Structure 1
């Protein structure tokens, strides 16, 4: 019987380097560093996010480059040498189901094309692996044409592309489904059976398009989706705190509830223990209403530029009800960044920074299970692995 032995690469002795485009407040960096990467270059256009990023990481001079400003001004020539990975969480504004869905032709989501341009300008120096993150709306934007266009653009740079969906609720009590594209110059062999956990039926179209170069890496099944956890994660705010809404505001909240929502709140109020739920403000029939989630997880955190985007926390039980806005620390914990530095930050600055970011443990899982093995060559096809044959 022939025994195949994998010879480890010398690269395993050093940390592969990564660049993060649209870096925001650096949550991708936290996840990639947890997976073993060294992030050496970052870019973002938002000054308030740059303030948060530098306030948290506090890199010594020369250890890391933060390039502020529009990605349109970034040139391939200025990118570091020997990058193993380039990550881009490009804006979702034109792809979100809640937006006008202008797609990759939109002014914000269209910044994807500048990322592609930078890679093209890097020539032979471009990284062996790229990763893109966005809302799941990318899969259906313009009937799937935007996703196909993104894959085709990476194909033109010699990257084969994998597409998978992953929800943050597998790691934290927050519903936050996201789409990930992983491009590889040396792609791995396809898994023998498509992984329904990561590539559900609604995501199969790119793999069946003969004009696209795709692959499906064999990956472990991620943790199951969480159904509880918010009650324990939420800040334990004393009843005397000024954060709780006053009687008038709370009464307006309760009066806006539909009969089903009011019944849900009453059931929680009668509970023997305290429960915490999140609530969104909606407009139904032209009237503002509040809707309380039925489960013990948070709704998807969003940028706090509008009142309807902010989530309230409803604490109920033992015959009492209290309501308040979710705190920046709760946002941080729900994004897997409980230790993030918040000192001196404006509340809306922090909420916007976290609401527009990528969940840390999602990035860490993808980094450990996919990106790092891909960079190391451990997921390459059998034909390209460095194998030694022992015995016969």
Structure 2
């Protein structure tokens, strides 16, 4: 059977590509504008992604079966909305640069008409602007002729990290599809830690004291903010792209020492990347890249279900669950 093909938009460091390749599909085009992400992508996939998707015509994009896109989430995330409000910048679709990138996906879907797509974004996309943003997305995708399914999934079923993201799958034909059954969480933080860690990852006395005072100040005000000392037999908070700043959301306890940050390799493992995945940028860039990526084994499980649906094409008996407009 000829493998199904896909394109990798807003590719980052290639988490979605890796997942779909592992599931048996073949990448025919990728696009990523960040030059440091491009470096990591090229080191691991032996090809340099095309640049800014807004500058690429659909004629330059090859025919493909599946479109993949983890389109920028900052305009829709809780943190992103708060930040943009504080700066007086519009968010969601009104964001001056990132919000309109969804319509680049729409442009390509309209012109190329792939058999399926998978989009990934933050959980808050579903509730942004009192649900209006998501209803617009649903309506547009339906108007393009796609039957859509969506689900918020916590990656803790695949890695020792609580990370809720919404996945939207779409199909040109009304075929049966279901998101994968989720395994009982089985990995713990201790399973992804390196045996030897350089001293530079241990927090300095100054930074550790600052984090403790900052947390205490917020507790006194009744706020919930604070650093996160990890239970090694449990799970971490969500790894974010800002982890490079102080690592406060995920700190590893140490005996008779200040806690430490995760290493870049531990971040890679926390996102489900294999140890064969090359980290070729600075620690700061690596933290940003893994914090912005997807959890590979979770996407791989979804990929298997999408490929299975496309290969078997069992027609739907009902379309009630598709939220058609």
* Structure-1 residue corresponding to 2:253: 315
SS of 2:240's partner is coil
Pairing 1:75–2:57 present: yes
In the TM superposition, residue 341 of structure 1 has moved relative to its aligned partner by 3.9
Paired with 1:149 and 1:254, the residues of 2 have a C-alpha distance of: 43
Aligned residues: 307
Paired with 2:279 and 2:244, the residues of 1 have a C-alpha distance of: 23
Pairing 1:98–2:79 present: yes
* Structure-2 residue corresponding to 1:290: 227
Task: Check the 8 A contact 1:24/1:353 in 2, yes or no.
Answer: yes
Quickly say closer, same or farther: Cα 1:153–1:252, change in 2 above 3 A: closer
Quickly say closer, same or farther: Cα 1:138–1:254, change in 2 above 3 A: closer
Paired with 2:124 and 2:77, the residues of 1 have a C-alpha distance of: 5
SS of 2:65's partner is strand
Quickly say closer, same or farther: Cα 1:237–1:315, change in 2 above 3 A: farther
Paired with 1:108 and 1:305, the residues of 2 have a C-alpha distance of: 21
Quickly say closer, same or farther: Cα 1:175–1:188, change in 2 above 3 A: same
Q: Please list, as runs of the form range in 1=range in 2, the aligned pairs for 1:140-289 lying within 5 A after superposition.
A: 140-189=127-176, 217-225=177-185, 229-237=188-196, 241-253=199-211, 258=216, 285=221, 289=226
Q: Please list, as runs of the form range in 1=range in 2, the aligned pairs for 1:51-70 lying within 5 A after superposition.
A: 51-59=39-47, 66-69=49-52
Quickly say closer, same or farther: Cα 1:76–1:382, change in 2 above 3 A: same
Quickly say closer, same or farther: Cα 1:247–1:117, change in 2 above 3 A: closer
Quickly say closer, same or farther: Cα 1:32–1:310, change in 2 above 3 A: farther
Task: Check the 8 A contact 2:228/2:250 in 1, yes or no.
Answer: no
TM-score (norm 1): 0.71
> Which residue, 286, 291, 315 being the options, matches 1:355?
291
Paired with 2:150 and 2:184, the residues of 1 have a C-alpha distance of: 19
Paired with 1:23 and 1:188, the residues of 2 have a C-alpha distance of: 27
Gaps of 5+ in 1: 1-12, 60-64, 190-216, 260-281, 384-392
* Structure-2 residue corresponding to 1:36: 24
Quickly say closer, same or farther: Cα 1:49–1:283, change in 2 above 3 A: farther
* Structure-1 residue corresponding to 2:87: none
Q: Please list, as runs of the form range in 1=range in 2, the aligned pairs for 1:4-15 lying within 5 A after superposition.
A: 13-15=1-3
Quickly say closer, same or farther: Cα 1:243–1:163, change in 2 above 3 A: closer
SS of 1:315's partner is coil
TM-score (norm 2): 0.84
Task: Check the 8 A contact 1:304/1:348 in 2, yes or no.
Answer: no
Q: What do you get for the CA RMSD once the two structures are aligned?
A: 2.8
In the TM superposition, residue 345 of structure 1 has moved relative to its aligned partner by 1.5
> Which residue, 312, 316, 320 being the options, matches 1:377?
312
Quickly say closer, same or farther: Cα 1:16–1:99, change in 2 above 3 A: same
Task: Check the 8 A contact 2:66/2:117 in 1, yes or no.
Answer: yes
Paired with 2:80 and 2:309, the residues of 1 have a C-alpha distance of: 34
Gaps of 5+ in 2: 83-90, 319-325
